[in-house]
Amino acid sequence: MRHSPVWYKRVPMRFFVLLSLAASAAMAQSNPVTAEQARNIVPRADLADLTHAQRGVFLDVATEVFNYAGCQDTLAKCLAAGQTDPHAVRMAALVKQLASEGHPATPIVQLVEQYYASFDPGRRVRLNAAACPVDGKGPVTLVEFSDYQCPHCALAVTPLEELVEKARKGKARLCAKYFPFTSHPRARIAAACAEYARSKGKFWPLNATLFAHQEQLEDENLKAYAKEVGLDGDEMLKQVYAGKFDDQVEKNRREGLAAGVESTPSLFIDGRYNVLPIKPWYLAFSVDDELQWQHEEGWKFGPAPQGRARAR
């Protein structure tokens, strides 16, 4: 049994976790658990809609990880009858979601521990969320570093847009930053074009178009995309190749490097590096957790059970 969560490095660990999640076939299988058995062990967790195998994974995780706030014990014990701590129910929702997607216990433990460790103020980074294109309004700021030739960045466009414009409208805002890789020859030019569009109040339309056509970013393509969103493509490329926007693109890239960015998309939520998938459920969950963390002024524990204290 673990007595404290493992504190991983912020960025490299993400790749380890994602690779672990993808390698589920190589992981040991959890014992199947019926709905009735689960109710007897963790009655505060609603696991009725999971399969027997997924409940087994949930229980393996719940007996391994400790609750992140409130009840100071394993998640399983904090979900037992007679317990009332709401944090355990919230943590159970995250574990349940990961288990429902078919991931095995070991990488879920690693991911959940890293996620809650990221709330530590000492692990957050300062990012300039003023000098960037912003979509949405709210007390929680998401800063995304992306590359216009990165396929995963293109997949993140819709979930992030829906988060700030619909799912958590009024609660979160998105700040876009450029992080072009030298291995992507048209990414920096595309970023400069996006910065030109920003100067004309057209960043978000062109941003969406560039990601939608990221395999076609030659000059003639860029001019056509500019025209689609109401911009002068010739003038745009003239200013881009004159280097007018190079400083801003490079400033974003250096800010990302200073924050520890090694891959794209890299997302920070109020300065904490996001380790969860950039998918609707996880994004909404993360924003809600951030709001709760602000409300509680940090995670706090209740008395240790039976006088047992543990390090956190």
Closest to 143 (Cα-Cα) out of 232, 29, 273: 273
Which strands, in side-by-side order, build the sheet including 140-146? 134-135, 172-178, 140-146, 266-269, 272-273
Q: Are residues 110 and 49 in the same domain?
A: yes
Mention every residue, 6+ apart, whose C-beta is less than 8 A from residue 209. 225, 228, 229
Helix, strand or coil, per DSSP, at residue 272:
strand
Establish if 5 belongs to a structural domain. Answer: no
Mention every residue, 6+ apart, whose C-beta is less than 8 A from residue 6. 110, 113, 114, 117
Q: Are residues 83 and 187 in the same domain?
A: no
Q: Is the pLDDT of residue 7 over 50?
A: no
Q: Is the pLDDT of residue 170 over 90?
A: yes
Q: Are residues 117 and 174 in the same domain?
A: no
Helix, strand or coil, per DSSP, at residue 140:
strand
Q: pLDDT digit string (tens) for 210-222?
A: 999 999 999 999 9
- C-beta atoms surrounding 1 within 10 Å: 7
Q: Are residues 246 and 289 in the same domain?
A: no
Q: Are residues 156 and 246 in the same domain?
A: yes
Q: Is the pLDDT of residue 85 over 90?
A: yes
Residue with tokens 């904090």: 78
Q: Are residues 139 and 227 in the same domain?
A: yes
Query: Once rounded to an integer, what is the mean pLDDT over residues 2-10?
Result: 36
- The pLDDT score that the predictor gives to residue 19 is 46
- Number of domains within the chain: 2
Query: Once rounded to an integer, what is the mean pLDDT over residues 126-134?
Result: 94
Query: Once rounded to an integer, what is the mean pLDDT over residues 62-90?
Result: 97
Distance CA 93, CA 72 (A): 18
Establish if 128 belongs to a structural domain. Answer: no
Q: Are residues 150 and 205 in the same domain?
A: yes
- Write down the pTM of the prediction: 0.89
DSSP letter string over 96-138?
HHHHHTT--HHHHHHHHHHHHHTTSGGG------SSS-EES-S
> How confident is the prediction for the chain on average, in pLDDT?
91
- The pLDDT score that the predictor gives to residue 23 is 46
Contact 160, 222 (CB under 8 A): no
Q: How confident is the model at residue 15 (pLDDT cuts 50, 70, 90)?
A: very low
Establish if 3 belongs to a structural domain. Answer: no
Distance CA 119, CA 115 (A): 8
Contact 103, 17 (CB under 8 A): no
Establish if 182 belongs to a structural domain. Answer: yes
Buried b (16+ CB within 10 A) or exposed e, 147-170: bbbbeebbebbebbbebbeeebee
Establish if 1 belongs to a structural domain. Answer: no
Q: Is the pLDDT of residue 8 over 80?
A: no
Q: pLDDT digit string (tens) for 244-270?
A: 999 999 999 999 999 999 999 999 999
Q: pLDDT digit string (tens) for 229-249?
A: 999 999 999 999 999 999 999
Percent of the chain with pLDDT over 70: 88
Q: Which domain holds residue 206?
A: 134-269
Q: Are residues 167 and 247 in the same domain?
A: yes
Q: Are residues 263 and 148 in the same domain?
A: yes
- The pLDDT score that the predictor gives to residue 28 is 57
Query: Once rounded to an integer, what is the mean pLDDT over residues 33-52?
Result: 97
Q: Is the pLDDT of residue 10 over 60?
A: no
Contact 105, 76 (CB under 8 A): no
CATH number at residue 244: 3.40.30.10
Establish if 238 belongs to a structural domain. Answer: yes
Establish if 148 belongs to a structural domain. Answer: yes
Q: Are residues 68 and 184 in the same domain?
A: no
Contact 265, 156 (CB under 8 A): yes
Cis peptide before 205 (omega within 30 of 0): no
Structure tokens at 243: 């280097």
Q: Is the pLDDT of residue 61 over 70?
A: yes
Q: Are residues 192 and 303 in the same domain?
A: no
Q: Are residues 284 and 209 in the same domain?
A: no
Closest to 287 (Cα-Cα) out of 156, 137, 71: 137
Q: How confident is the model at residue 52 (pLDDT cuts 50, 70, 90)?
A: very high
Establish if 82 belongs to a structural domain. Answer: yes
